[in-house]
Structure 1
C-alpha cells in the first residue's frame, strides 16, 4: 500500500521512526497472527477426514490444538492492532501539527486567498482520513497481504499445479481493483472539493447572517446552500456507486475462480494426485483466501481516498511562506524607535509595483499619520514594517538596523499593531491581552489602564477572568478595541501601528478608545493609517500617499495652507481651515 505516489505517502514513513519499539512488537505480533494460518490449515486438513471417519482419538486432540492456535492467533491480532494504533495516530497528529505550523508561516497575501472553511476541512476531515489509511495499512492491509502470501505458499506446497491455476486469476483481479481504485480516487477528490466549498459557504453564511437578514436575502442564501449540498450529494453518490459496483464485479470473478478450482480439484482427486487430507487443507486455504482479498480490495479504495486527502494536505506546503530569518541575525535589543525607509520598491506581483522609490524618516517618539485613497500603499507600508513582506529593493531600518537582517519574532515584539477590526480568540480577558505571552497581573492591569480598559473590565462579572465568547460577542466594539490596544502595549513596544483603529465605532465608544490610544502612544513612535482626517489633525506630521508615492507631508496647518492634495481631501470630508473660514 505504501507505494510511491504523487500524494507522497512514503514521505510519512520518517514520522514512524520515533515509534520503532511499538512497531517491532506490533510486527512480531503480526508474524504470529499470519503464521498461524498455515498451522490452522494443516490441522483442519487432519480434523475433517478424522471427523468423517468418527476417529475420536484423532478428532479430540486435533480440535484442542485448533482451539489453542486460534486463541493464540486472536491474542496476537489484539496485540498487533492495539500496538500499531498508537503510531498511526501519532503520525496523523504530527502531520496535522506540522501543516498547521506551516500554515502560520504562509505569506499573508497567499493566506487571504484561501478559504477558511476549506482549510478547516483539510486539517480535520482530510487529516483524519489519512490517519485511518495509515492505521488500516499497519493493522489490516499489511497482515492481509502477508496472510495471502503465507496461505498461497502453503497451497503451493500442497499442490503447486492447482495453485498455479488460482494464480492465473490474480492479475485479472488486481487489474480490476486498480481500475476501480483510480476512479474512486478521482471521484473522492471531486467529493472533497465539494465538501470544502460547502464548508466555505457555511463559514460565510454563519458570519454574514445579520447582513443576510438585513437585506431579506434568506431565499437567495437558502438556494445557494441547497445547490451546494445537492452537488455534494451527487459527488458522494458517484463515489459510493463506484465502490458498490466494484464488490460484485470482483466477487463474481472470485466465485468463478473457486468453481474452476473445485473442478480441477475433482480431476486431481480422481487421478489420485490429491488425497482427502490434502483436499481438506487446500479447501480451507481457498476459504481463508477470500477474507484477505476482500480486505485488500476495500482498503485499496480507502487508500485511494486517503491519497486524495493527503494531496490536499500537501497542497498547503506549496503555498509561499514568508521569508525565513537571516542566519546570522542582527540582535535588535530595545530600539529607540527611529524609522527610516530608503528608496523602497515593493510589488505583490511582478510588474505591478505598489510602492515606488518611497523614502520616509520618522524620529523616535513622533506621531505620523498616513493618509490617502485606498490602494495608495499605506497598508503595504505597515506590512513591510512588520516584515510580513520584504521590499524588492531599498531598505527599511529601525534604529539603523535593516529589518531584513533581524529575527521576525524579535521585530514583532517591538512593533505592535492595533488593527481596524480587532479579533480575539475565545478565552478569558486576561488571555486575550496576554495573547500567548507571559505577564504578571500587575503588567496586565498596567496595559489595560493605558488602553482605558481597566475600569470596564473590573465591572464585568469575573473581571480579568471573564470569558470572551467566540469573536468577542459578549463585549462591545469599543471595549473590544480597547482590549486590542492593551494587547498591543503589553510588551511595551517601541513602535505602534494604528490601522484606522476607531473607524467602526460610534462617537461615545470612539472617545473612550481615543483616550486609550493617547495614553498608549506616549513615549512611542506611532504610525497611523487614517481615512477619517478629523482624527489625525494633532499628528506631528501627516504624510499624503498616492499610487505608492509620497505626494506631500507636513503638519495639518502647513498642508492646509499649502492648498494641495491634503486640503482637497479635507474639503471633501467637510474639514475646513478655521483660520480661513
Structure 2
C-alpha cells in the first residue's frame, strides 16, 4: 500500500475537510438517542409542552445536519478516490507502455489488463469506503460506547465485555484476506488470458471446430475463479454472523440486566431505550468496520499487484558507450541472444553483417530460424546477451528509446488495426501531412482499392479490419510504415498475402519513391528477396549464408534447397 499512499498525499487537505464534515454529521447522529433519553426521563415527566417541542426541534436539527454532513462528505470522498485512482491508472498505463518486451513476457498481457482494470477498481472502491466509513464507523463505535458509559456505567460494562471477542474474531479472519484475494486476482488473470486467446482466435477456432474445447477451457478457468472467490468470500463473511451473535448476546444481556435494574429503581426507562439505540448504532459501526477490513484486504492485494508493476526497473542495456568504426548503415557485430534468462542455448548466435544506407537486406529461413527475433533486437525490444548493434555508427543502447524507434517504419504480417477510417489507420495519431499519407498509400499499392470505395480514404475500418481482405490489410500496414518517412523500413513477412505482380510493383515503388531508405525485408519467398543487395539466410539462429542471390545459389545449400522447392524443383 505504500505506493498507493504516495498518490493520496497530495489529497490530504481535501480528505481532512471531508473528515471534519463527516465528523460533524456523525456527532449529530450520536446526539439524537441522548436527546430522546433526556426527553423521556427528564422533560416528559414535567409536562412542559414547550420544552418537549424545543427538544423535538433540536432532534430534527441534528437529523438534518447529520444528513447534509454525510451527503457532502460522501460526495467529497467519491471525488478524492476518483482523482487518486485516475492518477494511479494513468501512471500504471504509462509504465506499461514503457515496459521492455522481456518484462511484458514475464508479467503477461492478461495480467496487466487485470491490474489496470479490476485491481485499480478495488483500490478506488476501498479509498471511497475508507473515507465514508473510516471516520463515521470508529466515531459511532467509540462515541456510542462513551455515551452509554455516561448514561449508565453498569450497562456499559455489559457492552464492553463483548468487544475483546469481536476484535479477536475480526483480526483473526481479516489477516487471511490478503492471501486469499491475491489468489483470486491471479485466477482473474488466467480467465482474461483464456478469453483474450479465444476472442482473438475465434476464426481459427471455428475453422477447426474447436468451439467445445475452448468452452471447456473457459469453464475450467471460470470454475477455478469462482471457487477461489467463494472461498475468500466465505472466510471473510464469517465475521458478520460472528459479530451479530456476540453483539446480540450482549444486547440480550443488556435487556435482562436493564429490566432488573429498572425494577430495582436504579436505572431509568429512557436510558434503556437510548441504550438499545446505541447498541444498534454500535452493532452497525462494528459491521462497517468489518466491511472495511474485508475491502482493505482485497485492496491491499490489488495494491501490491499494482506496485509490482510500477516498481519494475527501467531496463537499460549495458555497453552503450562503445561506438562502431563503421559510421554508415546498420551493423550487427557478433550478436547472441536468448529469450531464456539465464540463457539455455541461444535463439540467435554470432550474427554479423553490415547493411549500407539505402541498401535492401533480405532475411530468409525456415519457421523458427530467428528472423523476427533479429528485427526485434534491432528495435531494442530485447537487449542482446553479447555483441552489439549499431545504427550510423552509434550503439543502439546509447540512443533514447523514442529517438531510436522514430528511425523505423515497421509492417508486420499481422498487426493491429483500430476502429476509424483508412486515413486514420495509416496516420495512427501522428498528425502526418496528407501528401505523405497519399504518397505512402500509392507506393504500398493500396490506392487502387481505397479509391474503389465510396468514401475513399474516409472509408470506415471495423474492429480488427474485419471488412478488409488479407492483401488489403497488408498494403495498409506497409503504407503506415512508409508514411512517417523512416530511415529504416522493416517488412516482416508483410507481403505474404500479395500476389507476385503486386509484390514486385511494391518493391519497385519503394525503390523509386524512397531511394534513400534502408530496407530489411523478412520473407518466406525467394522471389521477394532475390533482388536484394544482400540476403541473410538463417538456420536455427545461425548464419547459413550471406550474399546476393546468384552467389547464394552457388555457395549456400539451404538457400538452394528453398529456391528449388519454391520453383517446383526436387528437394
Query: TM-score w.r.t. structure 2 length?
Result: 0.89
The match for 2:174 is 181
Q: Please give the alpha-carbon distance, in whole angstroms, between the structure 2 residues aligned to 1:509 and 1:109.
A: 36
1:137 CA displacement: 0.8
- Does the CA-based 8 Å contact 1:37-1:151 persist in structure 2? no
Per-residue deviation, residues 131-174 of structure 1 (Å, max 9, x unmatched): 11111111123321222222223334444554344233222112
Distance change in 2, residues 1:473/1:14 (3 Å): same
The match for 1:34 is 26
1:532 to 2:525 alignment: yes
Q: Which runs of 5+ in 2 are unaligned?
A: none
The match for 2:100 is 107
1:242 CA displacement: 4.0
The match for 1:5 is none
1:89 CA displacement: 1.2
Distance change in 2, residues 1:459/1:544 (3 Å): same
1:532 CA displacement: 2.0
Q: Which moved more, 1:354-363 or 1:288-297?
A: 354-363
The match for 2:333 is 342
- Does the CA-based 8 Å contact 1:417-1:498 persist in structure 2? yes
Once the two structures are superposed, the pairs formed by residues 364-403 of structure 1 within 5 Å of their partners are 364-403=357-396
1:12 to 2:14 alignment: no
Q: Please give the alpha-carbon distance, in whole angstroms, between the structure 1 residues aligned to 2:422 and 2:302.
A: 37
- Does the CA-based 8 Å contact 2:30-2:140 persist in structure 1? no
- Does the CA-based 8 Å contact 2:320-2:396 persist in structure 1? no
Q: Please give the alpha-carbon distance, in whole angstroms, between the structure 1 residues aligned to 2:538 and 2:321.
A: 35
- Does the CA-based 8 Å contact 1:485-1:520 persist in structure 2? no
Q: Please give the alpha-carbon distance, in whole angstroms, between the structure 1 residues aligned to 2:307 and 2:11.
A: 23
Aligned residue for 1:342, secondary structure, equals strand
Once the two structures are superposed, the pairs formed by residues 224-373 of structure 1 within 5 Å of their partners are 224-242=217-235, 244-266=237-259, 274-275=267-268, 278-317=271-310, 322-323=315-316, 338-348=329-339, 349-352=341-344, 353-373=346-366
Per-residue deviation, residues 348-400 of structure 1 (Å, max 9, x unmatched): 32233333343221111111112233443332221222111222333221111
Aligned residue for 1:424, secondary structure, equals coil
Per-residue deviation, residues 451-499 of structure 1 (Å, max 9, x unmatched): 2223322332322222211111111211111111121122211111111
Q: Please give the alpha-carbon distance, in whole angstroms, between the structure 1 residues aligned to 2:508 and 2:358.
A: 18
Q: Please give the alpha-carbon distance, in whole angstroms, between the structure 1 residues aligned to 2:103 and 2:24.
A: 51
Once the two structures are superposed, the pairs formed by residues 449-468 of structure 1 within 5 Å of their partners are 449-468=442-461
- Does the CA-based 8 Å contact 2:445-2:502 persist in structure 1? no
The match for 2:411 is 418
Once the two structures are superposed, the pairs formed by residues 147-226 of structure 1 within 5 Å of their partners are 147-160=140-153, 162-226=155-219
Q: Please give the alpha-carbon distance, in whole angstroms, between the structure 2 residues aligned to 1:560 and 1:327.
A: 38
Per-residue deviation, residues 236-281 of structure 1 (Å, max 9, x unmatched): 4444544554322221111111222344445665676655555554
Distance change in 2, residues 1:24/1:233 (3 Å): closer
The match for 1:96 is 89
1:67 CA displacement: 0.2
Q: Please give the alpha-carbon distance, in whole angstroms, between the structure 2 residues aligned to 1:562 and 1:575.
A: 20
Query: TM-score w.r.t. structure 1 length?
Result: 0.87
1:79 CA displacement: 0.8
The match for 2:474 is 481
Distance change in 2, residues 1:326/1:273 (3 Å): farther
Match of residue 425, structure 2, among 417, 432, 441:
432
1:515 CA displacement: 5.7
- Does the CA-based 8 Å contact 1:493-1:524 persist in structure 2? yes
- Does the CA-based 8 Å contact 1:433-1:486 persist in structure 2? yes
Once the two structures are superposed, the pairs formed by residues 510-549 of structure 1 within 5 Å of their partners are 510=503, 514=507, 518=511, 522-549=515-542
Q: Please give the alpha-carbon distance, in whole angstroms, between the structure 2 residues aligned to 1:118 and 1:337.
A: 42
1:22 CA displacement: 3.0
- Does the CA-based 8 Å contact 1:269-1:275 persist in structure 2? yes
1:566 CA displacement: 2.4
Tell me how large the CA RMSD over aligned residues is. 3.2
Q: Please give the alpha-carbon distance, in whole angstroms, between the structure 1 residues aligned to 2:14 and 2:156.
A: 36
Distance change in 2, residues 1:519/1:190 (3 Å): farther
Per-residue deviation, residues 432-461 of structure 1 (Å, max 9, x unmatched): 112231222222222222222233223323
Q: How many residues align?
A: 565
Aligned residue for 2:331, secondary structure, equals strand
Distance change in 2, residues 1:337/1:30 (3 Å): farther
- Does the CA-based 8 Å contact 1:482-1:513 persist in structure 2? no
1:289 CA displacement: 1.2
